[in-house]
Amino acid sequence: MTGEKAMDTIKKDEKMIELDAYMQSLKGKDRPESQLIAILHKAQSFYGYLSKEVMNHIAETMDIPTAHIWGVATFYHYFNLVKPGKFVVSVCLGTACYVKGAGEVLQTLKDELKIGVGETTKDGLFTLQEARCLGACGLAPVMMIDDKIYGDLTPRRVTEVIRNYRKAADKK
């Protein structure tokens, strides 16, 4: 039982219209409920994460129990259940980076941002993540902010980079 009809709790914006169109296109298929992971991928690509409202909406549109969707969303690490920050900071903990001091880099980030791995700062600016190899071992230790790589890091350099991002965000 997933309820009667879709609730109007999420904005019917372009993203939602596209997500709805995608779900409708799956409905004609055999066992449309088996497309759940694809739908969740789509939703996360639009919103950056899976909100309760979006999961509810998918539940009602696809007639899949919400508890089941929640189970799938929590099973795969790929799915974000909280809204990520404006900047996603990934620290490489691959072998090369680790040997060259990635542990210190990570600790500096934790101290500077006052959050743990997988968390987002209160101002919504930064999300801190661990990464395995980013393919930039020559620059070890490295971190990636969104899709920009920062190499040859020292604790001081890390602090500088983060403060520059803050300043840039403040100006806007």
Partner 1 sequence: MIKIYIDDKPYSVEPNQTIMQAADSLGFRIPRLCYHPKLSIEGACRVCIVEVEGMKNYVASCSFPVHDGIKVRTNTEELRRARRDIVELILDNHPQDCHTCERDSNCELQRLANSMGLRHRHFEGERKHFHKDISSDAVIHDPDKCILCGRCVRVCSEIQNVHNLGYAFRGFKTVVMPAFDLPFSESVCTTCGQCINVCPTASFVEKSYTQELFVKLQDKSLVKIAQIAPSVRAAIGEAFGLPVGTNMEAETTAALRRLGFDYVFDTQFSADLTIMEEASELLERIQGKGKLPMITSCSSAWMKCLEQFYPDLLDNVSTCKSPMSMMSALTKTYFAEKMKLDPKKILNVGVMCCTAKKYEAARPELNVDDMRATDIVVTTRETAWMIKSAGIDLLHIKGEPFDEPLGFSSGAGTIFGATGGVMEAAIRTAYELYTGETMVNIEFSELRGMKGIKEASVIIDGKEIRVAVAHGLGNAWKLLDTIRSDPKRYHFIEIMGCPGGCVGGGGQPYAGINSIPLDEDNLRKRANALYKLDRDKTIRRSNENPDVQRLYREYLGRPLSPLSHKLLHTHYHAKEPRGIISAELKVR
* Window of 28-36, 41-49, 64-72, 100-108 that interacts with partner 1 by CB under 8 A: 64-72
118 counts as binding partner 1 under rule CB under 8 A: no
Which of 16, 66, 8 lies closest to 36, judged by CA? 66
Cβ proximity to partner 1, 7 vs 38, nearer residue: 7
* Window of 30-38, 70-78, 119-127, 151-159 that interacts with partner 1 by CB under 8 A: 70-78
* Distance in angstroms (rounded) separating the CA atoms of residues 101 and 112: 17
Tell me the site size for partner 1, rule CB under 8 A.
21
CA torsion sign, 105 to 107 to 108 to 112? positive
* Distance in angstroms (rounded) separating the CA atoms of residues 50 and 46: 9
Q: Figure out which of the listed residues 39, 62, 69, 92 binds partner 1, where binding follows CB under 8 A.
A: 69
In 3-state terms the chain splits into helix, strand, coil percentages (rounded to 5) of 50, 10, 40
63 counts as binding partner 1 under rule CB under 8 A: no
Helix (H, G, I), strand (E, B) or coil at 33: helix
Q: How far is the CB of 77 from partner 1 (least distance, A)?
A: 9
Q: Figure out which of the listed residues 12, 18, 25, 65 binds partner 1, where binding follows CB under 8 A.
A: 65
Relative orientation angle of helices 36-47 and 52-62, to the nearest 10 degrees:
140
66 counts as binding partner 1 under rule CB under 8 A: yes
Please report, as ranges, the residues that interact with partner 1 according to CB under 8 A.
1-4, 7, 9, 52-53, 55-56, 59-60, 65-71, 74-75
